[in-house]
Amino acid sequence: MRELIVVYFLLSLCMAWGQTPPPQVVTDAPGVRALQPTAAKESTATSDVRRAAESETDPNTTILKYQAALREESKDYRAFLKDSLDQLKWVTGGVIVLGGVIFGLLNWKNSKEIRDQVNARFGDQVDKIVADKITKFDGDLNSYRVKLEDAFRQLTELKTAKEEITGQLAGLTERCADMAYILAYSFSALENDPNDPGWQNARRDCIVQLNELRCDLPHWRRVGILLGRLHKSFDDHESAVKVLTEVIDARNQRRLPPDEDHAALLFNRACYRNMQADIVDKAQSDKLKKEAWEDLKHAILLNPNDLQEASDDSDLETLWNENERRKDNLGKINKPFAPRASTGFLSRLSRLLFGAEKTQK
């Protein structure tokens, strides 16, 4: 709106200036043209020349006078143009100054407007900075949120794993306690009177519990030997041999190294086979005694300490003969390798619970 007012004012000034009539061209004589100023009245020189031309008949004189009049007219016209140009300069300068003043007045602002404009610009800058900061903060917040969710998920997984491990440890602890109880109960049942009906029932209960334990530890030497002794207390040598054979097979399937535990299993099976041979027919007896002899040789190869125990064991008295199963031949058995000590966790646990000595029978 302000610009339109300024333009309208300038156009009005220009139109007012343009209403001044231009100089006119007049002709007083044939073949001669003269410029006439804007004023309506003719100059005095032109009038004199015209009267002289009318009174005199000499054309040369008339022409000379007319030329002199034209020179005077041209001087007047130049003066007129100069004055007009000066006026135009003053008017143009005034218009420019006036336009500048009007433009300045139209664009003049008071302190409140300037303050509002500065505040608005400052507010725009602040809003932009705050928006950038908020956008960056949102990005960082989302990143931290993802990290926290990942950490929380990991903590949840660790908590779940901890609970599982705790449950497994609790179950293992309970299982170890049950194992210790069953083993101690079995030893106690074996140490008491074998003819007492109460203890006989206790030994049968031990056989059932040890068979359940053997499902988890089929290769454990302690369980096999205890089961063999419990079956022997009922003169069930066949079951004792079967249990020890299954334990030996389980150890072989797991590729366990032949060590003292393996030797103890072979020694006990040799004793039970020899005792079983004493109550069967001769054909089966010879086969059992031969198998007992092989078990005994293998056990002594694994653990030379079994040699003296084999010589003194009453369960092997009927194994010896004067031919291939001479007692003194046991000392002549070659030892291809030295025995290896048992390093299994269950073996160490059994030795911790029940001592280091090996139960042979």
Query: Cα-atom radius of gyration of the chain, to the nearest Å?
Result: 69
Tokens 């709106």 -> residue: 1
Dist CA 158 CA 100 (whole Å)? 81
Output phi, psi for 36, to 5 deg. Answer: -115, 135
Cβ-Cβ contacts under 8 Å for 182 (sequence gap 6 or more) = 206, 209, 210, 213
The residues, any chain, with a CB within 8 Å of residue 349's CB and separated by 6 or more, are 176
Separation of alpha carbons 360 and 121, rounded Å = 100
Q: In whole angstroms, what separates CA 172 from the centre of its chain?
A: 35
The answer to whether residues 34 and 70 touch, using CB atoms and an 8 Å cutoff, is yes
pLDDT (average), residues 46-66:
64
323 or 164: whose pLDDT is higher? 164
Please state which of the ranges 20-34, 44-58, 207-221, 303-317 shows the lowest mean pLDDT.
Answer: 20-34
| CA 303/CA 357 separation, integer angstroms | 13
Angle CA 84–88–94, to nearest 5: 145
pLDDT digits (tens, 9 = 90+) for 83-111: 888 888 888 888 888 877 777 666 665 66
Which tokens is 115 given? 């303050």
Sign of CA dihedral 262, 266, 268, 272: positive
Q: Which amino acid is at 21?
A: P
Q: pLDDT averaged over the chain?
A: 77
Architecture in CATH of 173-354 = Alpha Horseshoe (1.25)
Count CA atoms closer than 13 A to 279's CA, side-chain side: 8
Q: One-letter amino acid identity for 9?
A: F
Cα(310)–Cα(244) distance, integer angstroms: 18
Q: Taking a C-beta distance cutoff of 8 angstroms, is the pair 252, 276 a contact?
A: no
Contacts of 81 (CB under 8 A, 6+ apart): none
pTM over 0.85: no
Least confident of 50-59, 106-115, 198-207, 257-266: 50-59
Domain positions in the chain are 2-107, 173-354
Q: Is the pLDDT of residue 241 over 80?
A: yes
Per-residue pLDDT tens over the stretch 131-163: 999 999 999 989 999 999 999 999 999 999 999
